Amino acid sequence: MKRRAALLVVGVVTPLALPAQTNPSQMAAQRAESLRLAGRPWHAAETLLAASARELHFDPAFILAGAKAELHARRYDRARGLLAGQPWLTDYAEGEGLAVLAEAEARLGLAAAAAADYAAAQSRAHGPRAALLAVRAGLAWEAAEQPDSAAAAYGAARAAGLAAIDAWLRVRQARVTRDTATAFRLLADVTPPAAREVPVARARALLAAGDSLAALEAFAQAGRALDVGRLALARGDSGRARDALYGLMARAPETDDAAAAVGVVLASLPPRTAPERVALARAMKPHGAAADARLEVERAVRQGDSSAATLLLLGELLAGAGRLRDAERAYRAAAKDAALGPLAIYRRARILVRLGDPGAREALGGFAQSYPSDTAAPTALYVLGDMFADRGDWAGATPWFAELVARYPADVRASLARFRLAAETQRHGLLDSAAALYQAEVATAAPQRTAARFWLGRLALLRGDTAAAEAAWVALAHEDSIGYYGLRARREVPLPPLRLSAPPLPAASPAVAASLARLDTLVLAGLDTAAELEVRAILGRAPQQEIEALLAWSDGLAIRGFGPAAVRVGWQAALKAPADPRVLRAIFPWPNRPAVEAEAAEFGVDPFLFVAIVRQESVFDAEALSPAGARGLAQLTPETAALTARGLDVTFYPDWITVPDLNLHLGAAHLDELLRRFGGRVDAAVAAYNAGVTPVTRWLARAATTDVDQFVELIPYQETRGYVRSVLRNREVYRALYGVTSN
């Protein structure tokens, strides 16, 4: 969200006006502007960079175009370098150059300079643009810790007439107003969702007025533990600060506030007790500091904390560090606890599997027998079967898989066991045994019953009963028309390719249009958190809305870059009109189609396959971040992005990884490389996109992997197996919904 605003503040409000002449620099600037408006800011910046290498003298329009392109490509230092010190800057284009410079400075953390340049740009602008620049100036003044200037800027923005976001502006103005009476008047009758921010704004107003004690209590009442801790520390109340910050880390370790609390306590309130060390470790672990977290837990144990919860955490951290024997000992020690003992026993058994320890079989089997009602019991039996199957010992694997199927027939692991047993029996020509396993999957309504129906058709075909195979597949294609197996079955029978024609959406109602306009204004003003809260409010209202409103909201959110929210609204629409093809477009949107198609075309990959991957990876959220550290629309890790960029001879810095078209550029190149590596096999390339090249190469070395259906079915990683199915399903749905590519 914060970066999305940078793409709008100087471009959507006042598009760059270029001369009509066609000299090379002007043509390059026009080309760059077209690329930027098509969602390709990195290409725009590269276009102008290449043009600048060919010419020595540039007019202001070209320089400003270059600075805008660099800003949109998040190369903020370059944008600032192009504009700083230009003699024409203050008088050009009603302050647009100043606004671009201010945005670059704000992104570089130069808050005071940004505030001054925003204010200068505001003084030269007119109408709504001047009001938006005033809000930006206010945000910069806040960052520069100049509340009086910030309050004046917000007041100016309100006076200039931004009625759609006035509630949010009142909140921002109140929090930096020193006169509490004035601040509280501003906060009176603030409407939702801005009303959610009123308690914190009251606390900040009290702080601005110098009443830190009242502010401290107000932050506490608002549930802002991080603010309580910081303010208590500033007041010299280390006891309250310690309680607030360590309590926050223990209670909500995965939050951004907990991550910030880690920095505060390490600088000023280092842990003293074992519980504090454990709380600190829990907050460190999900924020990229697992090694430091492990050290803190080890210190807590040395201080006498031998609780099962702490030992389980220690075991997890030791296992993550590859210290498997130490992890096994930690889990063994935790196994004595009455409540957490079963979990510790199970985790110890899994560690023994990783170690190749001969005691793994007894440990897993003993766990499954001793704790049959535990949710991990089916997994224990599956892992036992998997241990033998991976060694090719199906005589050893079969009893464990059979026990799993018998004891937990509807469990997902039982489904996996049935399919592995069926594949093995089929490989040996025992078609009736395989069919019985698939029929049991259907009869128990197990998770893979649709897949089982497809495979029953395959078995019928192997027996020579083409009529039965065709009947099974036709029924499946109709009943599971947009599912992976329904679409797969369609390709085997004389049915035409799936086509889904969706009529255009009607114009949004006044209420929806006003909501989306308010969202636009917040983003243009740089009020990113407020925009996110508005989106949450839309999601909260969705169950009560009519289908037309839901579709309009979904379309509007997707266009504005809120892909995950757009799809969630689409699913709400599906509850009301599941057969409406417009609903499918809401669930499978394509908001940045020109950019996705252009990058796919550049590397010769199927655009429907590429959009299927983007939809599965990020749901079109340019700022998406996975637990593994993958970033952006195509979800690339920094290592993969850097390696791919080197192969393309593209300059790359980690901060650029979420620039939309650069991320797509590298993602398409990576997909192309995987397709070439695996001989054009889409199934293997997609699996490698998710799991990496090494495991896929290993899987392909197994028997029967020339059969694509068998390969997908026998992918050992459950996540990857589901991922491949979803991507291949997505590709066909996008092809059905969007027809031929627009390139």
Q: Which residues are catalytic?
A: 617
| Amino acid type, 78 | R
**Tokens (6 digits) for 454:** 């497809």
Given phi > 0 = left and psi -120 to 50 = alpha, else beta, which region is 453? alpha
Contacts with 743 (C-beta within 8 Å, 6 or more apart), sequence order: 597, 598, 601, 607
**Tokens (6 digits) for 540:** 């909260």
- Are 431 and 422 in contact by the 8 Å Cβ rule? The answer is no
d(CA 26, CA 319): 59
Buried b / exposed e over 337-364, threshold 16 CB at 10 Å, is beebbbbbbbbbbbbbbeeebeebbebb
Q: Which residues pair with 584 in a beta bridge?
A: none
CA 368 centroid distance within chain:
36
- Are 416 and 382 in contact by the 8 Å Cβ rule? The answer is yes
H or E stretch covering 648: helix 638-648
| Amino acid type, 116 | A
> Rounded to the nearest 10 degrees, how much is the dihedral formed by the CA atoms of 45, 47, 51, 52?
10
Q: What is the 3-state secondary structure (H, E, C) of 569-604?
A: HHHHHHHHCCCCHHHHHHHCCCCCHHHHHHHHHHHC
| Amino acid type, 56 | L
Triad 729, 730, 736: Cα angle to 5°? 95
69: closest CA among 39, 52, 44, 40? 44
d(CA 88, CA 341): 73
**Tokens (6 digits) for 655:** 């901060």
CA 148 centroid distance within chain:
37
Q: What is the DSSP letter of 394?
A: H
- Are 317 and 331 in contact by the 8 Å Cβ rule? The answer is no
**Tokens (6 digits) for 20:** 């009509």
Q: How many other CB atoms are there within 10 angstroms of residue 368's CB atom? A: 26
DSSP result, 372-392: TTSTTHHHHHHHHHHHHHHTT
Phi first, then psi: give them for residue 588, nearest 5 degrees: -120, 70
Q: How many other CB atoms are there within 10 angstroms of residue 648's CB atom? A: 12
DSSP result, 689-716: HHH-HHHHHHHHTSTTTTSHHHHHHT-S
d(CA 271, CA 289): 16
Contacts with 119 (C-beta within 8 Å, 6 or more apart), sequence order: 134, 137, 153
Contacts 24+ apart (CB under 8 A), 224-231: 224/200, 225/251, 225/257, 225/261, 226/257, 226/260, 226/261, 226/264, 227/200, 227/203, 229/261, 229/264, 230/264, 231/207
d(CA 639, CA 645): 10
Kindly tell me the burial class for residue 159, based on how many C-beta atoms sit within 10 Å of its own C-beta (0-12, 13-18, 19 or more). Answer: exposed
| Amino acid type, 183 | A
d(CA 269, CA 280): 11
| Amino acid type, 551 | L
Task: Report the greatest alpha carbon distance in the chain.
Answer: 87
**Tokens (6 digits) for 322:** 């590859």
Q: How many other CB atoms are there within 10 angstroms of residue 55's CB atom? A: 12
